[in-house]
Amino acid sequence: MAYEPGMDLAGGGRAGRLRGLSGKLPAWLLYFTLPIILLLVWKGADMLGYIKPYTMPSPEKVAATAIELVRNGKLVKHIVASMERVLEGFFIALVSALALGVGIGLSKRVDIFTTLVLQILRPIPPIAWIPMAILWLGIGETSKVFIIFLGAFFPILVNVVDGISGIDAKYFELASVYEIPRKKLILRVILPGATPSIMTGVRVGLGNAWVCVVAAEMIAAVSGVGYMLSDGRSLSRPDIVILGMLVVGFVGKVMDDLVKWVRAKVLVWA
């Protein structure tokens, strides 16, 4: 049986019929179909009077607010403020999780020494630290960076340790044949060998960091996307709240895409 254009390679049945239907749509259009449907449902509900303006604004009201906040520069200012905190907290978390993770991954004694404290601290949601963070560090930048650090630190640490323990023992044997010194072993075998797992940690950690910055800013801040949300609530402006939520989601998606792009670059060898 030779392949001919239009032949149903997936076989018949439901999957085949679905393929037939969606097969007409190019992928890029399919990509935007669901968001467009949701937007239409939203607008439809608004036109039919199912939603009240003071609980749920119309799509064009949110769009108008977006344009206004972009024009006066406030939206960009809030995003940049949140982004700066995230990057600061994330990089502190990355460096310290790498250092501690390598220590734990290489030394059974460091592992035993730290494991109980880490296991108890890890399940505490970063948000639960907010009251203490404010008491200890005040309502300035430091407390928010601390919350973000907590959100990013544990996912990265867990993946660094997993990545190191997952390195095939045969590479350590190889290193012993060539009398590789410890520092070179860490830089050339352990860190690169754990990189696939570390990149997973980075992805989860950065995602968590973004969630944490919004939460921290909703409680104590005068700038940032989280502040924008809580400010919208106190002004009874649901359009600002919805816009803030959409911005949080959109920025989060873009950051995740960026991490995936970096991962592909870093892991060319895999």
180 binds other proteins (CB under 8 A): yes
Give the residue from 176, 172, 127 showing the smallest Cα distance to 147: 127
User: By CB under 8 A, is residue 122 in contact with other proteins?
Assistant: no
**Closest separation between CB of residue 175 and other proteins, Å?**
9
**87 is a site residue for other proteins (CB under 8 A):** no
Q: Do residues 186 and 163 make contact, with C-beta atoms less than 8 angstroms apart? A: no
Using rule CB under 8 A, residue 186 touches other proteins: no
Single residue of 42, 98, 141, 193 touching other proteins by CB under 8 A? 193
42 versus 171: smaller Cβ distance to other proteins: 171
Tell me which of 109, 176, 249, 253 binds other proteins, using CB under 8 A.
176
- Of the listed pieces 85-93, 142-150, 165-173, 219-227, which binds other proteins according to CB under 8 A? 165-173
Question: Nearer to other proteins by C-beta: 70 or 267?
Answer: 267
The count of other CB atoms within 10 Å of the CB of residue 107 is: 12
For 168, half-sphere exposure in the C-beta direction (CA atoms, 13 angstrom radius) is: 3
- Tell me the CA distances in angstroms from 34 to 7, 28, 39, 142, 270, one per residue in order: 28, 12, 9, 40, 34
Q: Which is nearer to other proteins, 1 or 169 (CB)?
A: 169
Q: How far apart are the first and last CA of the chain?
A: 36
Query: Is the CB of residue 189 less than 8 Å from the CB of residue 175?
Result: yes
Question: Site size for other proteins, by CB under 8 A?
Answer: 18
Interface pick for other proteins out of 189, 220, 245, 251 (rule CB under 8 A): 189
Contact positions toward other proteins, by CB under 8 A? 170-171, 173-174, 176-180, 184, 188-189, 192-193, 195, 268-270
